[in-house]
């Protein structure tokens, strides 16, 4: 139920505030993998690929060979999703490409293996944001979940308003999302306290954790108890 997060940029593991300001950087992936030992799955996001400025494929391959990873970042074609799976990803995370100007990009989503696909719904100011959180769509996560269910095995929903800020998350939003879908749901963005973690797990929502565990605000030994 706990999913530790690894974000990649320039060949390093990083944590960003609001997807822009670098808060910390780790150069040794083995150190991070050791810290995350005992968790069923790790979430890996290639930020360079997401922003269209290269990729960290070698590091993705390295991580996937040593842990069960769900991987996202720049998955805008079936070929890219297939490449990530070939690199060892258990599942590919799709965000921006799940949408087009008219709504859901059904043609693209049909080209992906449903059982190996997670759709990311990143929300800021109540609306889904794409392209590295730089473009706002007219859609809300609540209204598209049901329509997206036929194309994926689960959802990764990020509360961007508090991402990386260590100020808590919006539990009510996640309750609404949980009520809107029966598929696996993972919460991310601002989760800071054990109270929030327990609340999410009580809803049957997974917690994707980044900044709070890298800074020691949440203790990995306590979190392993939920596995």
Catalytically active residues, by annotation: 7, 122
User: Cα(147)–Cα(210) distance, rounded to whole angstroms?
Assistant: 29
Give the pLDDT score at 135.
85
pTM: 0.94
Give the pLDDT score at 158.
95
Cβ-based burial of 139 (10 A; exposed 0-12, middle 13-18, buried ≥19): middle
- pLDDT digits 0-9 by tens, 176-195: 999 999 999 999 999 999 99
Q: Where are the beta strands (DSSP E) in the chain?
A: 2-9, 12-17, 21-26, 42-46, 69-72, 91-94, 99-100, 103-104, 117-124, 127-130, 135-136, 154-159, 184-188, 206-209
User: Cα(225)–Cα(195) distance, rounded to whole angstroms?
Assistant: 14
* Domains present along the chain, CATH in parentheses: 2-224 (3.20.20.70)
Long-range contacts of 82-86 (CB under 8 A, 24+ apart): 83/57, 84/60, 85/113, 85/116
Which residues of the chain are modeled with pLDDT < 70? Answer: 19, 165
User: Token digits for 177?
Assistant: 């999302």
- pLDDT digits 0-9 by tens, 75-119: 999 999 999 999 999 999 999 999 998 899 999 999 999 999 999
Per the prediction, the chain carries an average pLDDT of 93
Question: Which residue, among 104, 10, 1, has the nearest Cα to 55 in the 3D structure?
Answer: 10
User: Cα(56)–Cα(179) distance, rounded to whole angstroms?
Assistant: 36
């Amino acid at each position: 139920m706990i999913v530790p997060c690894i974000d990649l940029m320039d060949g390093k593991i990083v944590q960003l505030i609001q997807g822009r300001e670098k808060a910390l950087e780790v150069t040794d992936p083995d150190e991070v993998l050791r810290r995350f030992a005992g968790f069923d799955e790790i979430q890996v996001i290639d930020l360079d690929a997401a922003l269209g400025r290269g990729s960290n494929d070698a590091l993705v391959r390295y991580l996937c060979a040593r842990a069960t990873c769900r991987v996202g970042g720049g998955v805008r074609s079936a070929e890219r999703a297939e490449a990530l799976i070939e690199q060892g990803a258990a599942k590919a995370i799709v965000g921006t490409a799940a949408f087009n100007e008219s709504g859901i990009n059904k043609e693209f989503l049909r080209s992906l293996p449903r059982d190996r696909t997670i759709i990311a719904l990143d929300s800021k100011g109540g609306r889904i944001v794409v392209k590295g959180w730089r473009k706002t769509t007219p859609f809300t996560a609540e209204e598209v979940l049901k329509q997206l269910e036929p194309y994926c095995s689960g959802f990764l929903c990020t509360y961007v308003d508090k991402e990386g800020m260590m100020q808590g998350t919006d539990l009510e939003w996640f309750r609404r999302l949980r009520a809107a879908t029966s598929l696996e749901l993972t919460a991310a963005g601002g989760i800071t306290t054990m109270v929030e973690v327990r609340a999410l797990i009580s809803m049957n929502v997974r917690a994707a954790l980044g900044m709070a565990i890298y800074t020691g605000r949440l203790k990995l030994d306590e979190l392993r108890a939920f596995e």
